[in-house]
């Protein structure tokens, strides 16, 4: 077993080495003309300045929270003493992953535009492999962090026997809160930044002034390009880092509990998700090298090129999962392997569903474009309707994945579905399905990070006034990026649902540890005394009266559902306020700086960058802090039962709402792209203006509120897990 474990850190180091290789290859490519280099430098400077300011704010929050956890751990003894340190490392690695990915993207955009001057294939390969830096850094740092924490805790924790692995895995879960907190700040702050700039640039530039997208005469265009990097690259990287780590850690904790009575099997169950993730890294690298296309390729051919890499990795990982679990000689290894396959298939179905509803190659997005002939109102109505309809397939997919993963792990023992043993094993199956879904993250995140790189390449080509064929190449790559970004968001949301369910089960394990911290060794359930260390999930459900007739549970469900909508409302309004300032500034510059529209004067780009930065820093704090406070307050007032209700309500409402917002926003965006290709009058037509309005409405849907929801779901779970000791020790009701 010890020998097999070393495969995990080895795979993580290999991922980081390949990320370094792709980064060096990208830096060797030419950045193009002097103008191209100058524009790229402006974007890079703005992105770095924003992240520096954001990290200052986040650092203060992290220090305050770490001190709070230290007081709980060392002052009141209601928390594991490792929690403050785990929390800080989780946040650090999450932020580092986002930073490296964003730095790569800001160097890659101009080089992609320059590569597109030669051929479409060169542009695709450079942009995709630059995106792969993000994918490989996320999985590499994530698995390295998990490996190091495992080794440290294994060395320092004195407990022996089965309880040692339970303590190790539940302690490791807590660093996920640090990752989730950092991810939420990155997503919310980056989302507000990018959409404030985007809305301002589109509404005033395209609609009012009638100038093309990314035109250098638009004062907001540099801020818009900066925003693509801080929101869609740094934010997405931090987001999926915590999903990736959360799924592995939650599954490991469930494995430690499910196989408590078998020391050898327990160790194998803890190691299995780590090994599957490690194999996923190696096979994602194989898939990355298969992505290429032919000159003159259209959207369908490009989607097929990316799909080839992702699907190949998925098939290979499916085969590898069977081999790993057979090698470990897990009980019902075949069934648990099938749970992994269920997760992989669910990820593919959600991705394909998202593509169908958001790509302008398909009917739903084309119907939105068609509705533009009657004005912006019908565009918005049509987009909202398609976004709502699009929730059906992902929700049904996740529900099928949950029950199939559960049944596969239990050997389809439906007669004893909810017995203690089958419940633990089934939940382990759901957790490992989440690991399976995220095992291809090295390449699926590459397809996502590719999008902003291609978008910025198009902007650079426009501002540098390159040849028309270059802009045609970058427009094709950009349209592909919109679809892959929407697919990536769907994938992230789907994985969040499975991960959150595994975290929900892991919460019970942390409650068990909380009881031990306050000195409780036995609990009384319906007249029988049960040792805390041997209490099952049904035992705790009975002890805390977690059922639908308990008003504390129902109150928690309502508050959790409310949190999803409240959070979206706060972030949408934040974008609106920041965008309003941007619109006013762009109008002011067009009015007061003579010669901008004729190209005789240079806009004040820095002022627009400053507006987005200030808006994002100011507006991101309250929604993010609220997501942390809510589970703590519910736990203090309503106890464990209330927290369980909160997590269920947040998961149910948040998942559906996130899918709706991401898909509606992506469809509005690509409806605009469809018209810009020459349909329904093309650029500058009334139909085009109508879809631009729809796109601006969809911007905070798909890039701020929607993708932030999956972090909200997991962050509330992580906060609940970290604060379980306090909830157990003290609650009013």
Q: State the DSSP code for 79.
A: S
Number of neighbouring beta carbons within 10 Å of residue 521: 10
Q: Which of helix, strand or coil describes residue 561? A: helix
Q: How far is the C-alpha of 508 from the C-alpha of 456, rounded, in Å?
A: 45
Q: How far is the C-alpha of 193 from the C-alpha of 223, rounded, in Å?
A: 8
Predicted confidence at residue 514, as pLDDT, reads: 86
* Angle separating helix axes 706-722 and 468-517, nearest 10 degrees: 20
Please report, in angstroms and rounded to a whole number, the separation of the first and last CA atoms in the chain: 45
For the chain, residues with pLDDT lower than 50 are: none
**Residue 523's beta-bridge partner residues?**
530
Average pLDDT, the chain: 87
List, for residues 625-674, the tens digit of each pLDDT value. Answer: 888 999 999 999 999 999 999 999 999 999 999 999 989 998 998 899 88
Determine contact, residues 167/126, Cβ cutoff 8 Å.
Answer: no
Predicted confidence at residue 457, as pLDDT, reads: 87
Q: State the DSSP code for 297.
A: -
Element (H, E) at 429: helix 420-438
Predicted confidence at residue 415, as pLDDT, reads: 85
Predicted confidence at residue 319, as pLDDT, reads: 92
* Angle separating helix axes 686-700 and 376-389, nearest 10 degrees: 40
Predicted confidence at residue 432, as pLDDT, reads: 93
Task: Bin 547: left if φ > 0, else alpha if -120 < ψ < 50, else beta.
Answer: beta
Q: How far is the C-alpha of 702 from the C-alpha of 231, rounded, in Å?
A: 11
**Backbone torsions φ then ψ of 519, nearest 5 degrees:** 90, 10
- DSSP for 438-498, please give it: HTTHHHHHHHHHHHHHHHHHHHHHHHTT--HHHHHHHHHHHHHHHHHHHHHHHHHHHHHHH
**Residue 525's beta-bridge partner residues?**
528
Determine contact, residues 106/281, Cβ cutoff 8 Å.
Answer: no
Tokens of 131: 């995106």
Output the 3-class SS for 364-393. HHHHHHHHHHHCHHHHHHHHHHHHHHCCHH
Q: Which of helix, strand or coil describes residue 344? A: helix
Predicted confidence at residue 618, as pLDDT, reads: 80
Q: Which of helix, strand or coil describes residue 417? A: coil
Predicted confidence at residue 299, as pLDDT, reads: 59
Determine contact, residues 699/665, Cβ cutoff 8 Å.
Answer: yes
Predicted confidence at residue 664, as pLDDT, reads: 94
Q: Which of helix, strand or coil describes residue 633? A: helix
Residue from 504, 501, 526, 519 nearest 728 by CA = 519
Predicted confidence at residue 414, as pLDDT, reads: 86
Q: State the DSSP code for 211.
A: P
Predicted confidence at residue 296, as pLDDT, reads: 61
Predicted confidence at residue 229, as pLDDT, reads: 80
Predicted confidence at residue 309, as pLDDT, reads: 79
Q: How far is the C-alpha of 365 from the C-alpha of 374, rounded, in Å?
A: 16
- For tokens 């002890």, what's the residue? 543
List, for residues 287-311, the tens digit of each pLDDT value. Answer: 888 877 666 666 567 667 777 777 8
């Amino acid at each position: 077993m010890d020998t097999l474990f070393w495969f995990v850190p080895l795979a993580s180091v290999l991922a980081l080495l390949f990320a370094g290789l792709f980064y060096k290859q990208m830096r060797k490519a030419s950045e193009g003309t002097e103008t191209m280099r100058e524009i790229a430098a402006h974007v890079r400077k703005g992105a770095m300045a924003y992240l520096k300011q954001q990290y200052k704010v986040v650092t203060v929050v992290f220090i305050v929270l770490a001190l709070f956890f230290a007081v709980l751990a060392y002052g009141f003894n209601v928390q594991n003493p490792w929690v403050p340190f785990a929390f800080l490392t989780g946040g650090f690695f999450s932020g580092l992953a986002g930073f490296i990915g964003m730095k790569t993207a800001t160097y890659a955009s101009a080089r992609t535009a320059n590569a597109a001057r030669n051929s479409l294939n060169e542009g695709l390969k450079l942009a995709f492999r630059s995106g792969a830096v993000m994918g490989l850094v996320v999985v590499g740092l994530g698995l390295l962090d998990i490996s190091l924490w495992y080794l440290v805790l294994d060395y320092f924790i004195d407990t022996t026997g089965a309880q040692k692995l339970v303590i190790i895995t539940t302690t490791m879960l807590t660093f996920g809160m640090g990752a989730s907190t950092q991810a939420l700040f990155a997503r919310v702050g980056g989302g507000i930044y990018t959409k404030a700039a985007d809305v301002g640039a589109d509404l005033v530039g395209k609609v009012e002034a009638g100038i093309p997208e990314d035109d250098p005469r638009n004062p907001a265009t540099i801020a818009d390009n900066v925003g693509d990097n801080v929101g869609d690259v740094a934010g997405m990287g931090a987001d999926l880092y915590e999903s990736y780590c959360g799924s592995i850690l939650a599954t490991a904790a469930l494995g430690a509990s499910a196989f408590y009575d078998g020391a050898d099997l327990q160790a194998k169950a803890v190691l299995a998700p780590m090994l599957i993730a490690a194999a996923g890294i190696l096979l994602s690298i194989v898939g990355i090298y298969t992505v290429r296309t032919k000159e003159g390729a259209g959207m369908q051919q490009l989607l097929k090129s990316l799909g080839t890499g992702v699907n190949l990795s998925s098939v290979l990982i499916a085969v590898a999962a069977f081999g790993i679990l057979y090698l470990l000689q897990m009980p019902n290894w075949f069934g648990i392997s099938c749970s992994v396959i269920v997760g992989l298939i669910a990820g593919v179905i959600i991705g394909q569903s998202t593509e169908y509803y958001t790509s302008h190659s398909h009917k739903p997005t084309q119907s939105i474009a068609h509705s533009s002939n009657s004005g912006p109102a019908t565009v918005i109505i049509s987009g909202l309707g398609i976004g709502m309809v699009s929730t059906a397939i992902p929700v049904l997919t996740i529900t099928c994945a949950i029950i199939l993963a559960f049944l596969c792990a239990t050997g389809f023992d439906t007669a004893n579905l909810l017995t203690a043993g089958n419940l633990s094993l089934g939940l382990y199956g759901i957790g490992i399905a989440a690991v399976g879904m995220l095992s291809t993250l090295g390449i699926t995140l590459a397809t996502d990070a590719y999008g902003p790189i291609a978008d910025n390449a198009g902007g650079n080509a426009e501002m540098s006034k390159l040849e028309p064929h270059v802009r045609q190449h970058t427009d094709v790559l950009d349209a592909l990026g919109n679809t892959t970004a929407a697919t990536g968001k769907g994938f992230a949301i789907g994985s969040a649902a499975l991960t959150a369910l595994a975290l929900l089960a892991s919460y019970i394990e942390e409650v068990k540890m909380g009881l031990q911290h306050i000195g409780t060794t036995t609990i009384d359930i319906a007249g029988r005394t049960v040792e805390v260390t041997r209490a099952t999930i049904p035992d705790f459900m009975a002890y805390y009266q977690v059922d639908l007739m308990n008003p504390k549970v129902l109150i928690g469900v309502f508050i959790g559902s409310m949190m999803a909508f409240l959070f979206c409302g706060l972030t949408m309004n934040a974008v609106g306020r920041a965008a309003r300032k941007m619109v006013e500034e762009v109008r002011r510059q067009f009015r007061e700086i003579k010669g901008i529209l004729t190209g005789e004067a240079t806009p004040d780009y820095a002022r627009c960058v400053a507006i987005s930065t200030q808006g994002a820093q100011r507006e991101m704090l309250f929604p993010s802090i609220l997501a942390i406070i809510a589970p703590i307050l519910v736990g203090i007032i309503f106890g464990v039962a209330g927290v369980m209700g909160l997590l269920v309500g947040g998961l149910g409402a948040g998942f559906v709402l996130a899918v709706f917002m991401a898909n509606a926003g992506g469809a509005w965006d690509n409806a605009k792209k469809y018209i810009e290709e020459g349909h329904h009058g093309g650029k500058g037509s009334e139909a085009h203006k109508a879809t631009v309005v729809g796109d601006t409405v969809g911007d905070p849907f798909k890039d701020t509120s929607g993708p932030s929801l999956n972090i909200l779901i997991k962050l509330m779970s992580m906060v609940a897990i970290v604060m379980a000791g306090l909830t157990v020790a003290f609650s009013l009701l």
